[in-house]
Structure 1
Amino acid sequence: MRPPTLNIFPSQPMHVEPSSSTKAAGTGLVSPSSSGSKRPSEPSMELANARNDSTAPPPPSGPSHEPAKAIKREGNRKGPTTSSSEQEGPKTPDPKTLRRLAQNREAARKSRLRKKAYVQQLETSRIKLTQLEQELQRARSQGMFFGGGIVGGEQQSLPVGINNTSSDAAVFDMEYARWLEEHHRLMCELRAAVQEHLPENELRLYVDNCLAHYDEVLNLKGMVAKTDVFHIVSGMWKTPAERCFMWMGGFRPSEVIKIILNQIEPLTEQQLLGICGLQQSTQETEEALSQGLEALNQSLSETITSDSLSCPPNMANYMGQMAIAMNKLSTLEGFVRQADNLRQQTIYRLQQILTTRQAARCLLAIAEYFHRLRALSSLWMGRPRQDQS
């Protein structure tokens, strides 16, 4: 028999059921009948059992270990639940989050559109500026920079207070050149449509396009008249031959009526009466505007010369005169606007009196008239000149 002290380290774990022989042996080792002289070793065995209990799992049977089994079963039930929730993936956002995400996407889209439009605007401005610089450089090289005081390629000294052509006027000249190109294209299309004898409903589309194109140049003139009305009145944006026939920044509507009378198809008696009445009312309006402009010129002259023209002038009286003259001069823009309105009304009134085909021929005749004036100016500028000794 082994000494009892060797049972401190059992050969099998405490939770394993010992065999019957082992039980017998163990029983014999610790039976009360044979443990009379071995009682002092019982504390050691209890200490060993306490150590084994602290490290080994509880035995499978016995009423004292039922709470441990319940905890273990609860842990087993929680384990699969946690892993399944991890496998399900992220939860679907609530409606408030979805709405916020949609608003962020819309704001980002609008920001991209604004940025794209701004970049396009900058690119367009850059192209216009480059074209304007090229136009000015070409004008300087040809000695035709009227507003800047360049004549014959030499820089002329300008009095103090006389500025060069304003930027708005220069942009208007460039836009007007583009308008002429587009006008020539539209007239070519209208002429082809008339020669092809298109139905009047189809021909009306070409006529309406030409009328809308006339409205564009009037809008351009109205915008530049707000900042530089003298540029419109002087007619520096037109050719020299056209300036000979200018009236308040454009053509005389009554003169256009005289031109087209012999260029369109034979008129009915009612059409002839309508055109004659239009011509008479147009001439009366022209006369009234001309008288108003003449009265403005007279009033300006009287205002400027109301004080002594001595030099140096009395600054107090001088500044008062200039202020009054400025107020009177501001009405010049109104005269130009009324003249442009009269030109527009005359063209539209003619379209109402004439048939569609006659209206097309009327627009072609007006365009050809001004085209010949521009051609005359080119021939005059390019004529051979004899040097005078």
Structure 2
Amino acid sequence: MATEGSPRTDISTDGDTDEKSRRPDRGQLALTMASDSSDRSKDKTDQKTLRRLAQNREAARKSRLRKKAYVQQLESSRLKLTQLEQELQRARQQGIFISSSGDQTHSMSGNGAMAFDVEYARWLEDHNRQLNELRSAVNSHASDPELRIVVDGILVHYDELFRLKGNAAKADVFHLLSGMWKTPAERCFLWLGGFRSSELLKLLVNQLEPLTEQQLVGITNLQQSSQQAEDALSQGMEALQQSLAETLSSGALGSSGSSGNVANYMGQMAMAMGKLGTLEGFIRQADNLRQQTLQQMHRILTTRQSARALLAIHDYFSRLRALSSLWLARPRE
């Protein structure tokens, strides 16, 4: 019996060995899986590293742009300070005092118009420099973030002009209304101390093509709302002028010069002075409309379109000033 069992035992052992040899080794399988997992983990780590490097490069680029803008701002401030010191010196020689707070311009001789003219000349010089910088950026195909820095700076500079005009309106509103701080050709198109927003938008539409349908609708709506606001202000000015004419023409001082007539005259002049006080409000509302129109236009347009619009506005007024110079220099018989 023992002899017969031996072959069966040998055969069973050989079969088990063959079956084990055909099955994969568990240790080897574990190493393979661990290797695959390590490769996937390495790939994820590499992707994270690449993303982090890209983020670092973008952050560094933005930091360089901010640093460049800051340096330009410092240089601009230095130039403005130098120019302002020179203008202050000239103003003192002419008998003008400009308050150091910058909140309001005064004249020792009572001529606030001259003080405003000095400030406006400085503003115009800075404005021309900023527009030349913008033109260079556009021509050199600067990136949108770089253009946005220059465009935003120009819009802020326009805000400074409206602040100066607000102060000037308190000192001498008639000077702003007359437009004597502008060239003769500019005065032909003057409306309440400045440009008509609606007319300017009409000029810009053709120069900003192609516009999307949404942009075209936005510009059209802005032009119409500006026109309506301008019409309302113009009607208000006409009503004020009519009221002033009626006040000044009624109850004129008689030849006898009686005390009653004098009192009546002084009372009506006081009424006229009170009505003239509303002129400052009209100027302020007109400038507010111009300021809001520029800001709304900037929101509707892309950065590059806004840059083109500001350049078109600058070129238009530059040509008006050049036309004035040519007209004044024309040969006369």
- TM-score of the superposed pair, with normalisation by structure 1: 0.58
8 Å Cα contact 2:83/2:122 also seen in 1: no
Q: How does 1:163-174 map to 2 (within 5 A)?
A: 166-174=110-118
1:363 aligned partner, one-letter code: L
1:353 equivalent in alignment to 2:297: no
Deviations 1:49-108 (A, max 9, x none): xxxxxxxxxxxxxxxxxxxxxxxxxxxxxxxxxxxxxxxxxxxxxxxxxxxxxxxxxxxx
Deviations 1:32-60 (A, max 9, x none): xxxxxxxxxxxxxxxxxxxxxxxxxxxxx
Alpha-carbon distance change, 132 to 302 in structure 1, aligned in 2, over 3 angstroms: same
Q: What is the percentage of aligned positions where both structures have the same residue?
A: 62
Q: Secondary structure at the match of 2:158?
A: helix
Q: Secondary structure at the match of 2:307?
A: helix
2:236 and 2:327 mapped to 1: Cα distance?
34
Unaligned runs of 5+ in 1: 1-122, 137-164
Alpha-carbon distance change, 135 to 371 in structure 1, aligned in 2, over 3 angstroms: farther
Residue in 2 that maps onto 1:326: 273
1:268 aligns with one of 198, 212, 217: 212
Q: How does 1:231-242 map to 2 (within 5 A)?
A: 231-242=175-186
Alpha-carbon distance change, 297 to 278 in structure 1, aligned in 2, over 3 angstroms: same
2:216 and 2:120 mapped to 1: Cα distance?
34
Tell me by how many angstroms 1:227 deviates.
1.6
1:295 and 1:221 mapped to 2: Cα distance?
23
Deviations 1:311-330 (A, max 9, x none): 46521111010011111110
Residue in 2 that maps onto 1:140: none
8 Å Cα contact 1:203/1:356 also seen in 2: yes
Alpha-carbon distance change, 252 to 311 in structure 1, aligned in 2, over 3 angstroms: farther
Q: How does 1:10-89 map to 2 (within 5 A)?
A: none
2:327 aligns with one of 380, 386, 389: 380
Deviations 1:172-193 (A, max 9, x none): 1011111111111100000011
Identify, as 1 or 2, the structure richer in helix: 2
1:299 equivalent in alignment to 2:212: no
8 Å Cα contact 1:222/1:337 also seen in 2: yes
1:254 aligned partner, one-letter code: S
Alpha-carbon distance change, 126 to 375 in structure 1, aligned in 2, over 3 angstroms: closer
8 Å Cα contact 1:278/1:346 also seen in 2: yes
Tell me by how many angstroms 1:126 deviates.
8.0
Aligned Cα root-mean-square deviation (Å): 2.2
8 Å Cα contact 1:166/1:228 also seen in 2: no
1:219 equivalent in alignment to 2:163: yes
4+ residue runs over 3 A deviation: 123-130, 132-136, 308-313
Tell me by how many angstroms 1:265 deviates.
3.1
- TM-score of the superposed pair, with normalisation by structure 2: 0.67
2:275 aligned partner, one-letter code: K
1:274 and 1:175 mapped to 2: Cα distance?
34
Q: Secondary structure at the match of 1:257?
A: helix
1:255 equivalent in alignment to 2:199: yes
2:132 aligned partner, one-letter code: C
8 Å Cα contact 1:225/1:333 also seen in 2: yes
Residue in 1 that maps onto 2:313: 366
1:340 and 1:191 mapped to 2: Cα distance?
26
Residue in 1 that maps onto 2:228: 284
Residue in 2 that maps onto 1:143: none
1:205 and 1:228 mapped to 2: Cα distance?
35
2:299 and 2:255 mapped to 1: Cα distance?
59
Q: Secondary structure at the match of 1:228?
A: helix
Deviations 1:304-348 (A, max 9, x none): 112135446521111010011111110010000000000000011
Which structure carries more relative contact order (alpha carbon 8 Å, separation 6+)? 2
Count of aligned residue pairs for this structure pair? 237
Tell me by how many angstroms 1:169 deviates.
1.3
Q: Secondary structure at the match of 2:182?
A: coil
Residue in 1 that maps onto 2:290: 343
Residue in 1 that maps onto 2:29: none
2:157 aligned partner, one-letter code: H
8 Å Cα contact 1:303/1:321 also seen in 2: yes
1:199 and 1:357 mapped to 2: Cα distance?
9
2:255 and 2:158 mapped to 1: Cα distance?
48
